[in-house]
Amino acid sequence: MNKMMVIFMLLALLLPTVGQAREDTPPPYMNAALPVEERVDDLLSRMSLEEKIGQMTLVEVNSINPDDITSLYLGGILSGGDGDPRQGNQPDYWSEMVNGLQDYALNTPLQIPIIYGVDAIHGHNNVEGAVIFPHNIGLGATRDPALMEEIGRVTALEMIATGIYWNYAPCVAVPQDIRWGRTYEGYSENTDLVTELALAYMRGLQGESLSDPYSVLATPKHYVGDGGAVWGTSTSFGTPIDRGVTDVDEKNLRAVHLAPYVAAVENGAMSIMVSFSSWGGLKMHAQKYLITDVLKGELGFQGFVVTDWAGIDEISQDYYRAVVTSINAGVDMNMVPSQYHEFLSVMKVAAASGDISMERIDDAVRRILRAKFMMGLFEHPYGDDFLLAEVGSAEHREIGRQAVRQSLVLLQNENDALPIAKGVESIYVAGLADDIGIASGGWTIFWQGQPGDITPGTTILEGIKNTVSESTTVEFDLDGNFDGKADVGIVVVGELPYSEWFGDNPNLSLPAEQIRMVENMRQHADKVIVVLLSGRPMMITDLLETTDAFVAAWLPGTEGQGVADVLFGDFPFTGKLSYSWPRSMAQVPLSALLSDDEPPLFEFGYGLTY
């Protein structure tokens, strides 16, 4: 064997090894040390059309065939209201479900992780055992950005425990009509306050960097003007205002409703959700001017735009036309949420025909991938099971309790009714005081919420019993039927849970039986204190004459001990109204109140102290 043959034999042996080494070298997009844009460029160059449009598809968890995540290269999964695991609604089942679905995504050739999203709008509120914070209307009354940041941090940790890194919050609507069923999702009628608190909450969710393993992607919503919809303009579900028309000029739209988005983009928002509402004769999901020209162009938004639940469908009865219009308007990811095969088919046809250009598809996918890389999803696609012990922890509940205390607004306090002495001989408690579900409102465990013992927590009644002296007698009756007379009577009244258009209501008066309950308590207690649970101001002008003290507790969530903390004087009342409080329905909406010669019952910023 000559020398040349030996060399050839050695090369033959080495070549497979060299080739194998090349195959084992991770592609640039898997290199976390490279700049995000370089990673995006590399990955995008490797993707087929099917992989690209798959990334643009967001599917509801109970509609998904898990194998389709792999075969269709789907980009995202969500749990809407009631989208909990089939095994049971506990944190460990959530973790198992979400991480299991991620396995399917990482089994694709390019191993692009899914992004999993939920509406964790007042804590991780889909999950039994999570801390349920007050709804935003209550948090608006705290006027405390530091507290909002802490709530965002707690929410992020409880989400990550279950494998979820994408939150459809904060809602930055600026509600102008309290008849709207989503009023409680807005921090305030005041744009500056909405902006300040939403940014603080965003900081809590996202932390100093989205790449931090304990950061969650925020999603300011609903772009843009949903809080300005006019009563009677909605054409959806027979509802009068939800998903209606924001009938204002562009100057007003920008000043009142766009301003929070300007600040959010400047402060690192990388996902924004479009509104169901309309402006200028077009559904928001079709608004190329507002989505592409203003948001992406003028404001320089570099993240991705996601639809609301089947939001594209409302543009036209012709689904092909609806998809083409919305994607070309600048929507990047479609929350389908169930008919994803049809959406993918339409996208293929639209791309082949040129109705949607590859440039538009590449831009959409680039934005989605950019956010995923910034989030570090390629490096940590799974949740952190170590955090499961933190879901609903005592530390987290204490922050919820603080939020409740600071959200309470004292509207009236006559005859030194408050604070209540802990050693008072007897207290009668009536009404909704012993119900976690009612205190938490909509978007709690279920989409519409539900009365009853739906998740662990402390009711207002339990808080009262925990606070009084051992010698104090506390007697509770749901209907307020008492004999004899107590030193103090506490009546908890308010709204039953609702969300979205189910809460649209032309008459914000309290039910007659609740008013009778307060009047009856007047006969059975020396001092009568009313605590109102509601997602908005209610019509209480006449009722104030029957009571000594009146407290707006909003929808406080699971930590009812915070209400008792303040009623009994362990902490002062510090909450200030983030909404004007009308005297009657004649002063609704806000524009009617502002033009009325008579002042509101309580002005924006009102709140008594001890």
Q: Which residues are catalytic?
A: 308, 500
Query: How many whole angstroms separate alpha carbon 481 and alpha carbon 476?
Result: 9
Q: Residue 147 is encoded by which pair of tokens?
A: 């507290």
CB hemisphere CA count around 582 (13 angstroms)? 25
Please identify which residue in the block is written with the tokens 């999993």.
116
Give whole-number Cα distances, 236 to 282, 310, 537, in Å: 14, 13, 25
Please identify which residue in the block is written with the tokens 């609704």.
588
Question: Which secondary-structure segment (H or E) carries 342?
Answer: helix 340-353
Q: 3-class DSSP state for residue 572?
A: coil
- What DSSP character marks residue 113? P
Query: How many whole angstroms separate alpha carbon 446 and alpha carbon 83?
Result: 8
Structural contact between residues 104 and 142, judged by C-beta atoms closer than 8 angstroms: no
Closest listed residue to residue 589, CA positions, set 333, 248, 320 = 248
Closest listed residue to residue 198, CA positions, set 561, 533, 602, 578 = 578
- Residue 33, burial from CB neighbour count under 10 angstroms (0-12, 13-18, 19+): exposed
Beta-ladder partners of 551: 410, 531
Query: How many whole angstroms separate alpha carbon 365 and alpha carbon 363?
Result: 6
Query: How many whole angstroms separate alpha carbon 577 and alpha carbon 575?
Result: 7
Beta-ladder partners of 78: 60, 117
Structural contact between residues 132 and 557, judged by C-beta atoms closer than 8 angstroms: yes
Structural contact between residues 137 and 603, judged by C-beta atoms closer than 8 angstroms: no
Q: 3-class DSSP state for residue 483?
A: coil
Backbone torsions φ then ψ of 462, nearest 5 degrees: -60, -40
Q: Residue 297 is encoded by which pair of tokens?
A: 């162009």
Question: Which secondary-structure segment (H or E) carries 348?
Answer: helix 340-353
Give whole-number Cα distances, 263 to 194, 477, 559, in Å: 11, 48, 31
| Three-class secondary structure assignment of 450-482 | CCCCCCCCECHHHHHHHHCCCCCEEEEECCCCC
Give whole-number Cα distances, 603 to 102, 174, 191, in Å: 50, 17, 16
- Residue 496, burial from CB neighbour count under 10 angstroms (0-12, 13-18, 19+): middle
Backbone torsions φ then ψ of 369, nearest 5 degrees: -65, -40
- H-assigned helices in 429-560: 436-440, 460-467, 512-522
